[in-house]
Amino acid sequence: MLRCRKISTSLAVIFSVILFAVSCNKDIDFGFKDLCFYHPHTAPIKVRVDWSFFRHLEKPTGMTAYVWPQDKTKKTYTFLTHTLSSINLNLEAGLYNAFVYNQSEAEYSTIEFHNLHEFGLAEARVIQVKSNWLSTKQPLTKVGAEPEWLAIDCIKDVEVTEEMVAVAEAEYLARLPETNKQLQNQSNKETRDATRTENEVGPLVPKSIIKNVDIYVHLENLPYLRSALGAINDMAEGCYISTGQPTERTVTHTVGTWGLIYDTTPSGGVDMMKGALKVSISTFGLPAGHKGRPEDNSLYIRLLLVDNETILEKYFPVGDIIAGLNQYDGTQLDESGNPIWPEIHVYWPEPLPEVEPVGGGGGAFDVGVSEWGDEIVTILPMS
């Protein structure tokens, strides 16, 4: 609030200052610029947001909006709110692009946001992490963290007209006691009653740009398996927020913790000798330019047997199996209402060798990786 120490505090003078301020022209400097705060030269825009296509994956507790004026000389606006149904903006006349996404930038630990100064270049990327076991096998591999849930939607060419701004200014003036008296004879009832016109756009409907891949490694002679590690390469490092399309750069995602599913016998029992390792990996999907060829992605599996010495490893080409991954956004549901994700099924070509367990005891699958050395995850600077 402007502190006018040299202005008399008489009621008449105060009214004259208010009237002078609210009649200011934003193109002319009257020497009372701070008072123009009360005469905003903007129109209220309410952006409605519908999260119904994302709530079954994660329940947002807030959202972020970025608004870019198409006039590059004007600044970009950022808004954070815990209200999920809408975002209220006050914008000057002009054309705007905008997007919303769940949560705030600071709440993501595995995703970084880049190039937010420009609508078309804004990008979300997974952070780079270190994998001790994979670095010994593939030292030059860029390993990416599994991204958290991220849902976005965009809107382009939102127009705020001079007429919308003029209506908002008139309605504001109508709410001031003295100027309201001067406007009583205006024909616009909306202004005369001092109500506020809402200019709504939307709804924006954010959908997940994070994909899940369910991986199954089918094995025989399961009692001889102690631990397993895995990695899938050439997945998208990130995506462009304004389009939801993946970037060209790639990362490898690693797997160190698996579940175990046993097959059933013909009589309906549990077959303790056969089954599958299962894991779900989250990813930004396949990179731009993916050709859908088997060799475009490889699934690397490394097995440690119960003798704690025998290591088996294989590469499975899976690029053709997940070629349609980018078409999934979590809105495809099964009969129970659960999201459907692509599945990768690979089959170990021969039964696991019948090795002697360490100490001569019985074998048991260990989903941990402690026998392989500690898996230390460290955030690395992005190049």
> What are the tens digits of pLDDT across the range 137-184?
888 899 999 999 999 999 999 999 999 999 998 888 887 776 555 555
pLDDT at site 135: 85
pLDDT for 184: 52
CA atoms of 358 and 229, how far apart (whole Å): 20
CATH topology for 42-108+150-204 is Immunoglobulin-like (2.60.40)
Tokens of 366: 């260990």
Residue 372 has pLDDT above 80, yes or no: no
Per-domain residue ranges for the chain? 1-39, 42-108+150-204, 211-372
Sequence-distant (≥ 6) Cβ neighbours of residue 272 within 8 angstroms: 222, 223, 262
pLDDT the model gives residue 276: 96
At residue 3 the predicted structure's pLDDT band, cuts being 50, 70 and 90, is very low
d(CA 93, CA 185): 27
- Which tokens sit at 126? 């997974």
| Per-residue confidence (pLDDT) for residue 178, from 0 to 100 | 62
CA proximity to 358, closest of 304, 303, 308: 308
Q: Which of 45, 44, 27, 26 is nearest to 36 (CA)?
A: 26
The Cα–Cα gap between 149 and 217 comes to 25
Contacts of 13 (CB under 8 A, 6+ apart): 7
Residue recorded with tokens 């825009």: 45
Residue 189's pLDDT is what? 45
Per-residue pLDDT band for 232 (boundaries 50, 70, 90) equals very high
Amino acid 23: pLDDT: 44
What are the backbone dihedrals phi and psi of residue 211, each rounded to the nearest 5 degrees, phi first? -110, 150
Is residue 35 scored above 50 in pLDDT?
Answer: no
Q: Which two tokens stand for residue 110?
A: 């595995």
